[in-house]
Structure 1
Amino acid sequence: MAQLPPLNALRAFDAAGRHLNFRAAADELGVTQGAVAQHVRQLEAQLGLPLFERLPKGVSFTPAGRGYHARIAAAFQELRAATEALRPTPGKVLISVTPSFAAKWLIPNLPDFAASHPDIDLQILATENVSRFHGDGIDLAVRQGEPPFGAALEAMRLFRQDIIAIAAPSLIAGSPLPLDPTVLADLPKLHDTHDLWPDYLQALGIEDQSGRGLRLSQTTLSIDAARAGQGIALVSRFLVAGELAAGQLVQIRPEVLSGKQNFYLLAARSKRRDPATQAVLDWFSSKAET
């Protein structure tokens, strides 16, 4: 690997390039104008080409200096952003959740949280990837799984994965509830990555007669497709509680398929947890199934 220039020289060049003036750069860095000029000369000597043209009242970029400064300035900005993301901010809590949990439960419940904790800046990272508490700077996470999750984590169960079959009222119009299994067998099925239909149909003692069906990458897409009348979906009951209450979806059979992985709130085990994170944890606890 080629030897990198000294960091102080790069900082002086970055500041001088933003101000196009060594004195202004020196004021920003808290050093003398001579120190900035010396750092820039050393950088130019190491690179073997001039970066600035010296003018009576400042400096201007050479073509090479302009291109080099753009990349150095971007690198410093990335370093500042990375550092800021890791630095604790009073009142800020970053929670990592799956996209389906974010769309179908957390966001609909945010008005209640905001009313209870207007001083907390709750930031949501919606991702299917497993987030790292230290590496990604998150404070809390909601994930499906089974304990134990490791000695470094505290886990609180939020919701059981009680799987129910749901559909739009328009899809089953004219058919009494609970839906007869033979009718269910003929209706189109919505599939997501959990692939729960084989177990559900086996529990009813029927085979699917509807064909291939629509396959989607996320549970939230299956719920939206079900609301649009495109088929029957199998989803965790708590994710569609609002749509069921509003009549936008209906549970078509009483059977409940118990999933193997429940939803848990995870937090790093710590003797001293900041008040904002503890308040968010307590709010989730108040919403958890008993």
Structure 2
Amino acid sequence: MSEIPGKLPSLNGLKAFEVAARHLNFRLAAEELGVTQGAVAQQVRGLEAQLGMALFERLPRTLALTAEGRRYIADIRRAFEIIARATNELKPQAIKLTISTTPTFASKWLIPRLPEFTALHQDLDLHILATERISNFAVDGVDLAVRYGRPPFGPGLNAELLFEQEVIAVCSPLLLAGRNPPRTAEELAAYPLLHDAHNLWPEFVERHLANSRSPSFKGISFSQTAHAIEAAIAGQGIVLANAGFVTDDLAKGRLVRIFEARLRGPSDIYLVWPRYRKSSARETVIDWLFAEAQKEDAAEGEPIVP
């Protein structure tokens, strides 16, 4: 059975003592506490009377702690820290949830949509793990992954299609200034082509621009699709990109679409998560991701540069 403490000193007096001990000045303590200097001095005098000893030496322009005051303040500060920590721990803690995704999906699709999600779900603390490496659900502490590929992704995992990868050709309107957009492979060869690690340009040209000639193409290669898209926005060439990754750029006129043709990517984008690890927070995020993907499907139909 825990011991019942004796009568505690005035908590207001203890707080006034702690603040005055930090400033060694009743006026500055009063400013921090939002009371008068006289009220602080009175609280400290009342505490000293309860304890039966002086805690401060009153000097002409400052205060000095007595030996008893120095010994007492160390324990009082620890007590206030314990109270503050206990109070903070009573507050509802945000639920942490880690999403593993590629850097391009994170920067071009997920992050632009996050402000709306965080405004609606302030109780969730999302951690975005953007990496080309496939994360391990057990080792990396991942709750949900966005992955390119085809199921199955592994034993014990659920996989749901978020959206199919539909690749379109886009560029900055600045690149086309004063010129007609390309319509043939020969015309396309006059423009720099921006490549990413998927390198879909050869397939795009063969499927949609095949003719008797095979012109040589110049271009720049990037390890990440996001960088190739940013280069296109900067007017450095034409890029093949997942339509979902350039929706905002097309809507705001940073990019324009130059061919009607679409190319189905070699893999699609799936949500993947552990089958037997239940989480209401993860279900909330999954539902939101699917709703955002459906919005995009409904808004599809980018105009083609004539």
What's the TM-score once normalised by structure 2's chain length?
Answer: 0.62
Structure 2: stretches of 5+ with no match in the other structure: 1-92, 298-306
CA contact 1:158–1:287 (8 Å) conserved in 2: no
Aligned identity (percent) is 46
Deviation at 1:172, TM superposition (A): 1.2
1:246 matched residue in structure 2: 252
Instruction: Give the whole-Å Cα distance in 2 for the aligned partners of 1:210 and 1:171.
Output: 16
1:24 matched residue in structure 2: none
Deviation at 1:176, TM superposition (A): 4.1
Q: Does 1:112 align with 2:116?
A: yes
CA contact 1:90–1:276 (8 Å) conserved in 2: no
Deviation at 1:257, TM superposition (A): 0.5
Q: 2:179 aligns with which of 165, 168, 175?
A: 175
> Which has more radius of gyration?
2
* Larger displacement relative to structure 2 (158-167 or 273-282): 273-282
Instruction: Give the whole-Å Cα distance in 2 for the aligned partners of 1:131 and 1:101.
Output: 15
Instruction: Give the whole-Å Cα distance in 2 for the aligned partners of 1:119 and 1:183.
Output: 53
Deviation at 1:285, TM superposition (A): 1.8
Structure 1: stretches of 5+ with no match in the other structure: 1-88
Instruction: Give the whole-Å Cα distance in 1 for the aligned partners of 2:205 and 2:279.
Output: 47
2:150 matched residue in structure 1: 146
What SS is found at the alignment partner of 1:129? Answer: coil
* Residues 174 and 180 (structure 1), Cα distance of their counterparts in 2 relative to 1, 3 Å cut: farther
Write out aligned runs for 1:53-132 (5 A). 91-132=95-136
2:292 matched residue in structure 1: 287
1:17 matched residue in structure 2: none
* Larger displacement relative to structure 2 (91-100 or 107-116): 107-116
Instruction: Give the whole-Å Cα distance in 1 for the aligned partners of 2:183 and 2:130.
Output: 38
Q: What is the aligned-residue RMSD (CA, Å)? A: 1.6
Please give the per-residue CA displacement for 1:89-136, whole angstroms capped at 9, x wherever unaligned: 861100000000011011101011112211100110000001010111
1:275 matched residue in structure 2: 280
Provide runs of 4+ in structure 1 moved above 2 Å. Answer: 174-177, 206-211
Instruction: Give the whole-Å Cα distance in 1 for the aligned partners of 2:199 and 2:224.
Output: 11
CA contact 1:186–1:209 (8 Å) conserved in 2: no
CA contact 2:170–2:240 (8 Å) conserved in 1: yes
Please give the per-residue CA displacement for 1:18-63, whole angstroms capped at 9, x wherever unaligned: xxxxxxxxxxxxxxxxxxxxxxxxxxxxxxxxxxxxxxxxxxxxxx
Q: Which amino acid aligns with 1:93?
A: L
The count of residues paired between Structure 1 and Structure 2 equals: 199
Q: Which amino acid aligns with 1:180?
A: R
Instruction: Give the whole-Å Cα distance in 1 for the aligned partners of 2:177 and 2:163.
Output: 31
